[in-house]
Amino acid sequence: MKLGAIYSKEKTTFTLFSPVADSVFVIFYDKGNDSAETGRLEMMRTEGELFGIFSATAEGDLDGVYYTYEVHTSDGIFCSHDPYARACGVNGHRSMVIDLSKTDPDGFADEDRPKLADPMSMVITEVSIADVSAGASAHSRYPGKFKAFTEDKTLSYFTDMGVTHLQLMPSYDFASIDESDSLKEQYNWGYDPYNYNVPEGSYSTDPFDGAVRVREYKEMVHSIHEAGLGVIMDVVYNHTFNTAESNFERTVPGYFYRQKEDGTLANGSGCGNETASERPMMRKFMIESVLYWMKEYHIDGFRFDLMGVHDIETMNEIRKAVDEVDSTVCVYGEGWAAETPQYPADSLAMKKNVAYMPGIAVFSDEFRDGLCGSVWEKGKGAFLAGVRGGENSVKFGIVGAIEHPQVRYDSVNYSRQAWAGQPTQMISYVSCHDGLCLVDRLKASMPGATPEQLVRLDKLAQTVVFTSQGIPFIYAGEEVMRDKQGVDNSYKSPDAVNAIDWRRKTTNGDVFMYYKRLIDLRKSHPAFRMGDAEKVRKHLEFLPVEGQNLIAFRLKDHANGDSWEDIIVAFNSRITPARLAVPAGKYTVVCKDGVIDVRGLGTQTGTEVIIPGQSALIMYR
């Protein structure tokens, strides 16, 4: 049964789940705000597959009509916007009936969406709609808007770099921005959900017209697809912006949220509440929401915020439902929670339970912090800072979080065993929107580092990411040495902190080119993206090294059908050069001392090679 306002030109049927209600009314308005009620329609309790469903049908064409629900219970009368709304007025307080067919841009319905052969071909970059287009250096006609991604200048930057997917930070309707005041300087990441199935109004050119944000979101997706890129949506089903005032709580008090034994709200999200994904109607909501974004907006993937709050069965049901529509759509998330969820640990979608979620990937904080140091200790570095002890955590990430005989799991941070069944279940990264971005992290852990050293270490960090067997992920702007002035939780910092300064592409063109060639190296050589645990164990061999802060491995015997027979990859985070013993032979060097060129940078013969300090070496024979 479809819930919400189901539109046709002849009639609209309103359906709401509210088993506690004695009666429910649909209240109509002619505007999305500041207007009086224009009519009401009583909903009737229905008999059928779901208990507690109220429904009513309004005759005629209601396209563009705004509405709310008035829910009468024994505890009082509650007014709520529709949890299942597909459009809304300014600030999301009133839902809107919408003819979605009118919102499709030309060519959208039958567009040729980009498809990848396998997950290992993905190169993901995380972007904020505001960060990309709102800065003074962006020169966008639509600063901070969906339509900025319809501009060739924006899209050509990403296609030139070589990424395959843009992971959009929250772009559904969130609560923290006052959409009615476009002149007020406002910023928020958007991890405060208000209307899950509606695009965010502040990113549209007219938040007062509920159809505009829908149309412009589709225009954005269509333009990104035409550029050959995929769109991944960051979804935050683990909590809502508020509880007592949320549409979940106002229609079914207590149902959509977990409670502690004393009756208080559980808070696995760290944001005041945690949703109860295991309850049938919350599970149904999540599954149908994901499918709605896939079908209506052509979304190519989903990144689940604090996925560890959700139960395993729900995540598997989402994966199953997605596969029935399009098995190439990716699903991944954070395999942890902010606080301990109120649900059995062995049933939660945590990293340690990934084996029970085939087809779903998670971020590896073992890998990230093995490279950079703990996010909770900003001044303490790890491998990149020349600190000993992180090598096995880095190796854990290099093999894709799978079981490998040469990784000492008792020395891996956070996890004492492999958790991925396949390397396709691990997202490789060194930074994202959360915590310090890479440059700020390096500065914090190495306060005396020179600008040249920061560049060398930035390149080194991403070389580890892109030669690892997981799915590579970068935070947009890292390729031009982006910083956020040392702010690690910039969720509401101004554009002066968050916006990407695109002028850095000129001053750091060498870094951008390194990233571009690094991405091309990975795409061109299947040895770096085997995608199969047995192949990784067979073809990836760590080489013995002398001392700390040096990691080296060999991809041997034409790994995964690669044209290169043997590939040597080494990472030296020491300030001084390092010696590495290698199998005898004549090698072509393709990466050395902060330069990449697959055509070759020279040859190397003998049984020993020198790796310059704070850099990577890649060579083949």
DSSP 187-244: -----SEEEEEEE-GGGSS-TTSHHHHHHHHHHHHHHHHHTT-EEEEEE-TT--S-ST
Select which of 334, 365, 369, 434 is catalytic. Answer: 334
C-beta separation of 561 from 600 below 8 A? no
What is the C-alpha separation between 195 and 287, in angstroms, rounded? 15
Alpha helices in 383-437 (DSSP H): 391-398
Residue 17's contacts (CB-CB under 8 Å, 6 or more residues apart) are 3, 50, 52, 53, 83, 251, 252, 281
With tokens 């089903």, the residue in question is: 237
**3 state DSSP class of 606:** strand
Helix, strand, or coil here: 511? helix
- Catalytic residue, chosen from 305, 391, 458, 479, is 305
DSSP secondary structure of 466-477: HTSSSEEEEETT
| Residues whose CB is less than 8 angstroms from the CB of residue 558 and which lie 6 or more positions away in sequence, other chains included | 527, 564, 565
- For residue 374, what is the DSSP state? -
Stated as kind and residue range, the H or E segment containing 507 is helix 504-507
Structure tokens at 24: 């429910």
Cβ neighbours for 349, distance < 8 A, ≥ 6 positions apart: 304, 307, 308, 309, 310, 311, 312, 314, 315, 333, 335, 357, 360
Is 334 one of the annotated active-site residues of the chain?
Answer: yes
Tokens of 9: 């030109």
How many other C-beta atoms can be found within 10 angstroms of the C-beta atom of residue 619? 25
Tell me the C-alpha distance between 376 and 176, whole Å. Answer: 26
In the annotation, is 296 catalytic? Answer: no
Q: Are 173 and 245 in contact (CB under 8 A)?
A: no
8 A C-beta contact, residue 372 and residue 382: yes
Just list the catalytic residues.
305, 334
